[in-house]
Amino acid sequence: MALALFDLDNTLLADDSDHLWGEFLVTQKIVDGPHYEAQNNRFFQDYRQGTLDIQAYLAFQLGILAQHERATLYRWRETFVTEKIVPIIAPQAGAVLQWHRNRGDTLVIITATNRFVTGPIAQLLGVPHLLATEVEEQDGRLTGRPCGIPCFREGKVQRLTQWMQETHTNLTESWFYSDSHNDLPLLEQVAHPVAVDPDDTLRQVAQARGWEIISLRQPTLPARVPVR
C-alpha cells in the first residue's frame, strides 16, 4: 500500500486557503481591515518568493484564534468553507484522489496551513489523514500559538517522518503532488513527484528532472492520471 501525499493550497484547491482565510477575516470585519490585509498580502508574497519567516507568519495568522470562543470560530469557519473553499476545489481533484483510492493507496494531505483551517477541508475532500501545522490548545481554548514543528518546507519532511514511524508506513512507491517550490524538500524524497499547476521555479525543476507535470484545473485530466 503506497502513500499518496497531496499538498492542499493551489494543488487540490485552485487558490490558497491560508491567504483566503485572512481575506475572509477582513471582509467580515473581524480584524483591522487595511493593516491586516497589507500584512496578509506581504506574507503571501514572501511565501511565493521562498523567503517566508514561518514563525512570524504563524504569530500573525494564528493570533486571532486566541481572541474568540471556539463556537464563534467554528461558525466563521463553516461560512468560510462554504463560501470560499467549495468554489475553488480544483475540477480534477476528486478524480485524482479517487484514482489513488482505487489503487488502495493511503491518502494524506500534507500542508503548511494550520489544522483549524484545513481540518474541515480534508473532510470535505474525503482524505482521511491530515498533516498540518498544529495550533496549541490550553483549557479548551486555542492559544494562537503553533504547536510542534510547522508543516512547512523541511518541516513537512520531519512531520511526515514522525507520522510514518507512528503508522509503520514508508515512502516506497510513494507519490507527492504539489504546486510549490517550497515543497522541493519532500518532492525529492518520494518515488513519484508530481508538479501540479506548478509555480515557475517548480516547473523548471520538474522539467529538468523529468517529473510529471499535470493540471487539476482543466475540465478533464490528461489522457491518463499520471502513473509510472
Residues annotated as catalytic (active site), given as ranges = 7, 9
> If you ran DSSP here, which 8-state letter would residue 182 be given?
G
Closest CA to 47 of 218, 174, 201: 201
Judge contact between 117 and 18, C-beta under 8 A: yes
| CA gap 116, 74 in Å, rounded | 9
* Cell triple for 101: 483510492
Hunting for cell 515557475 — which residue is that?
Answer: 200
Count of CB atoms within 10 A of residue 32's CB?
A: 12
Q: Which helix (H) or strand (E) is 176 found in, with range?
A: strand 175-178
